[in-house]
Amino acid sequence: MKTVIIAERRKTIEKKCDTSKYENVEIIKQYGEKKLLDFLDILLQTKDDEGKGLSDADIRDEVDTFLFEGHDTTASGMSWARYNLVKYPEFQEKCRKEVMAVIGGKDNVEWNDLQKFPYLTKFIKESLRLYPPVVAVGRKLENPLTMRSKLFKSKDVVIPKNSNLIFSIFGLHRSENVWKNPTIFDPERFSKEECAQRDTYAYLPFSAGGRNCIGQNFAMNEMKTVLALTLKRYQLYLDEETPTPILHTRVILQSKDGIFVKIRPF
């Protein structure tokens, strides 16, 4: 986001009301025509315990994080899910059957419909396992970390304070130590029974802990909605003439030359 947009909005808010005196709801009243505070308004009014607000650069970082985390990730997740729908037509058929039973008679997905796609949900989760949009996360250690692993012959290894660690989600999701036949695509891995038998930390497309993904429910709902509407209207099939995607990682998991999927309307 351009800092000039941030500066202009800051001026508008300051002109319309003294933010130190008003709660959010008062600011809504002052704006008059504005019914809800948008993300930028909220950031502009955020203050720490000492009453210090965010600088324009801080705000720009937050907005960039949201745009990147909110757009590129789901774009990657949905692209790979479409690829898996064409690669595994039998699973596509199952997903479509479920979708038609829920939204066959209407043009959109309603809020309550989202819980009625258990198979599509399992399919998306399996797609996020083999093709996690965020392939790795990083952490800086505030304290030394003691680890014991088969990799270190089961001896304690101490990683010093201030070390920068990169943790591979892609590696975890394809590890034979964690998953049986990890390269086989099988949505049933996400049945209740299978999930109950697995370690909570075996599957981390949205990371874990204090800095995990705050948009994960939104992301799952977005992907379910878009894929359900696609499956309702179109059959997806493989473009035999285009190359198999070559995994390519920058920050997000992409395909080197794109992902080619053909569609025909029902």
Contact positions vs ligand HEM (CB under 6 A) = 65-66, 69-70, 73-74, 77, 133-134, 137, 205-207, 211-215, 218-219
Taking the complex as a whole, the smallest distance from the CB of residue 159 to ligand HEM amounts, in Å, to 18
35 SS3 class: coil
CB-nearer residue toward ligand HEM: 70 or 182: 70
31 SS3 class: helix
Q: Which of 44, 53, 36, 48 is nearest to 3 (CA)?
A: 44
Taking the complex as a whole, the smallest distance from the CB of residue 62 to ligand HEM amounts, in Å, to 8
Burial class (CB within 10 angstroms; exposed 0-12, middle 13-18, buried 19+) of 15: exposed
Let me know: does 246 contact 256? Beta carbons within 8 Å.
Answer: yes
Give how far Cα 18 sits from Cα of 5, 14, 15, 30, 243, Å: 20, 6, 8, 10, 59
Q: How far apart are CA 261 and CA 266, in angstroms?
A: 16
CB-nearer residue toward ligand HEM: 70 or 238: 70
Rounded to the nearest angstrom, the gap between the alpha carbon of residue 120 and the centroid of all alpha carbons in its chain is 16
Taking the complex as a whole, the smallest distance from the CB of residue 22 to ligand HEM amounts, in Å, to 26
CB-nearer residue toward ligand HEM: 10 or 125: 125
The two beta strands, 156-159 and 164-168, are unpaired
CB-nearer residue toward ligand HEM: 19 or 172: 172
Taking the complex as a whole, the smallest distance from the CB of residue 252 to ligand HEM amounts, in Å, to 9
CB-nearer residue toward ligand HEM: 63 or 238: 63
Q: Which of 62, 81, 68, 249 is nearest to 166 (CA)?
A: 249
Taking the complex as a whole, the smallest distance from the CB of residue 212 to ligand HEM amounts, in Å, to 6
CB-nearer residue toward ligand HEM: 208 or 229: 208
Rg (CA), the chain: 23
Taking the complex as a whole, the smallest distance from the CB of residue 243 to ligand HEM amounts, in Å, to 25
- Determine the residue type at 103: I
